[in-house]
Structure 1
Amino acid sequence: MHGDGGDVLSVAQFLIAMQTAEKLRRNSQTLRIEHMEMSDQGMYQCVVSNSEETAQGTSEIRLGDSPPALVSAFSGALLQPGAAWSAAVRVVAAGRAAAEPLRRARGTQGRGKVHPENHRQQVFPNRTLVIKVIRKHADEGGYVCVATNPLGQTSRSKMNVLIMEAPEIDPIVIKHDLQLGMRMRLACVVSKGDFTIQIQWLKDGSPIAEDQQIAEKILDEYSSTLSFCSLAVKHNGNYTCQASNAAASRNYTVKIIVNGNNVLSQSCNQMCYLE
């Protein structure tokens, strides 16, 4: 390298404003940075001098942000009204530490509302959305988390939230003074809960055996009965109606104790179970 007077420059050096690392390759005229990272951006200065004068040149390296990456994304959720729910997303922007706060992260529902929008909702700095006291019509639908970097580049994660009401069984009423040979019917009515509802009867925690001679009948999508045409001692026990849907399973149990003497003939008992 030569100065204006034709003399050979005696010193050529680079002053690196950001860092000096093994990945920097330099000779008297060239600086090479391998595998450019965000930490490499900044002002670089080259200084040359001879015995009479010094000259310098500067250059700035600017690096644009890459789109943020959603490392852990939402997944679908099945919730019950009244419960609390939270969803979190982990965001990493290229060249930045995972713990660095994102410039903007928001959750939007399918109708385009930005959360939080009321006192039941809260978004924390770690990008977790919490909804307290879930409401079916207000909170059910699609949710999107949008992460945006300073250049306006975005990444999205979508999820669907389905809110289902668990079954609720009306009280099962029985007579207190049950006698041998009496007729009786247990009715299980599921007055609340989203369909599809599965109803099952149990005796002492197990499915009812055929030799118990108890007639089970499904009336519709939400009710079922057990019919006893002639009560016997073998019918003593705990009877449970179990109603289940995708949200939860609910039970209602009654205890049957049979006392007294037979008052109906065996022929009536046989006709009952031939229906």
Structure 2
Amino acid sequence: MAQGTAELRLGDTPPQLVYGFIRQNIQPGPSVSLKCVASGNPTPNIKWTLDGYPLPLNERFVIGQYVPMYGDVISHVNITSVHVQEGGTYQCSAVNRVGEASHSAQLNVYGKLHIGQIVAARWLFQGDRELPINRRHLVFPNNTLVIEKVQSGVDNGVYRCDATDKQARTASGTAHVNVMVPPKITPFNFRSDLHLGERVGVQCVVSKGDPPLDVYWLKDGHKLGVHDGQVEGEGIVLRTLDQFTSVLSIGALALTHGGNYTCQARNNAALATHTAPLSVNGMAMATHDNSAPQFVTQEMTHFK
């Protein structure tokens, strides 16, 4: 009889945001402070984004985080003399090993130049290349830029819009574009004639997708927890060959190994999934007489 052990950590709780910043509408110039407070066990870590991207690492943004005596974690972002281009959707995300919680709100910074007053505008790519450069770039009369069939490594970069109003006042706004290729998994399958005690292995190869990549396995929809490459109590071994390849192997098949095995690959663009069923045929001696032995064959397959 196979036996296994597992560690249960009592008291773990997912993060909860107990305080979040509010939506603000301001003019350029004043200092702004955004704060989030989160609880959870273990103590969560708080990360900040602006319009879905990590906050720039420069002197304009000062990020602080500390844990007071009562245990909640407090994180804040301070912006000195806020600029128009620093407006947008700010989000704080509290993360620990149990889960994640997020809060977001809009910081609207209204400058002297408003969209309705623009009389001239132009788009620049990487500082000096005026758009459109090719047929994939479309600039509409309302100064909206559309890029069709975006390409990784070609369309990445900084886009800037320069606008002028009737009083010849100018303003600029920039956007950082990072085009990522989503992951793609090469299909794999288990043999259909596997029996008790045999060895089996499959390889999950992420054939496409920009790093960083997170590759992991599930059995019947449950993530396989690994300690030193072993799935505790399951007789399953997981090995990472490189950042694009993971191998699942079983040294001696048991009926309990039957089920649906899923490889998932995730990057910042998307999640890719491939599932393969594993059927284990069991063979055991049932009865015998003076004639040839009789056998009973069992098959166990789990489908979600």
Give your verdict on TM over 0.5.
yes
Structure having the higher helix fraction is 1
SS in 2 for 1:163: coil
Which residue in the other structure is 1:179 paired with? 195
CA contact (8 A) 1:103 1:149 kept: yes
- Residues 214-233 of structure 1: pairs in structure 2 closer than 5 A: 214-233=236-255
CA contact (8 A) 1:116 1:122 kept: yes
Which residue in the other structure is 1:240 paired with? 262
CA deviation vs aligned residue, 1:21-62 (integer Å, no higher than 9, x gap): xxxxxxxxxxxxxxxxxxxxxxxxxxxxxxxxxxxxxxxxxx
| Aligned mates of 1:189, 1:99 — CA distance in 2 | 48
SS in 2 for 1:179: coil
Matching residue's letter, 1:261? M
Q: 1:233 to 1:108 in 2, by over 3 A?
A: same
- Residues 1-275 of structure 1: pairs in structure 2 closer than 5 A: 100=116, 102-150=118-166, 152-208=168-224, 210-261=232-283
Matching residue's letter, 1:225? V
| Aligned mates of 1:214, 1:144 — CA distance in 2 | 52
SS in 1 for 2:256: helix
| Aligned mates of 1:128, 1:186 — CA distance in 2 | 48
Q: 1:71 to 1:161 in 2, by over 3 A?
A: closer
| Larger deviation, residues 148-157 vs 181-190 | 148-157
Superposition deviation, residue 100 in structure 1: 4.0
| Larger deviation, residues 118-127 vs 172-181 | 118-127
What is the percent sequence identity of the aligned residues? 37
SS in 2 for 1:211: coil
CA deviation vs aligned residue, 1:150-175 (integer Å, no higher than 9, x gap): 55431111121111111111111321
Superposition deviation, residue 261 in structure 1: 2.1
Superposition deviation, residue 74 in structure 1: 7.5
Superposition deviation, residue 72 in structure 1: 9.2
Superposition deviation, residue 236 in structure 1: 0.9
CA contact (8 A) 1:104 1:149 kept: yes
Matching residue's letter, 1:124? F
Superposition deviation, residue 235 in structure 1: 0.8
CA deviation vs aligned residue, 1:169-208 (integer Å, no higher than 9, x gap): 1111321211111100011111111111111000011112
Superposition deviation, residue 118 in structure 1: 2.1
Question: Where in structure 2 are there 5+ consecutive unaligned residues?
Answer: 1-82, 91-108, 226-231, 285-304
| Aligned mates of 1:99, 1:222 — CA distance in 2 | 45
CA contact (8 A) 2:118 2:166 kept: no
Matching residue's letter, 2:263? C
Matching residue's letter, 1:171? P
Superposition deviation, residue 144 in structure 1: 0.6
Structure having the higher strand fraction is 2
Superposition deviation, residue 125 in structure 1: 2.7
Q: 1:101 to 1:123 in 2, by over 3 A?
A: farther
CA RMSD of aligned residues (A): 2.9
Which residue in the other structure is 1:84 paired with? none
Q: 1:206 to 1:197 in 2, by over 3 A?
A: same
Which residue in the other structure is 1:23 paired with? none
| Aligned mates of 1:99, 1:107 — CA distance in 2 | 15
Question: Where in structure 1 are there 5+ consecutive unaligned residues?
Answer: 1-68, 77-89, 263-275
| Aligned mates of 2:136, 2:127 — CA distance in 1 | 18
Superposition deviation, residue 226 in structure 1: 0.9
| Aligned mates of 2:195, 2:121 — CA distance in 1 | 69
Superposition deviation, residue 99 in structure 1: 6.7
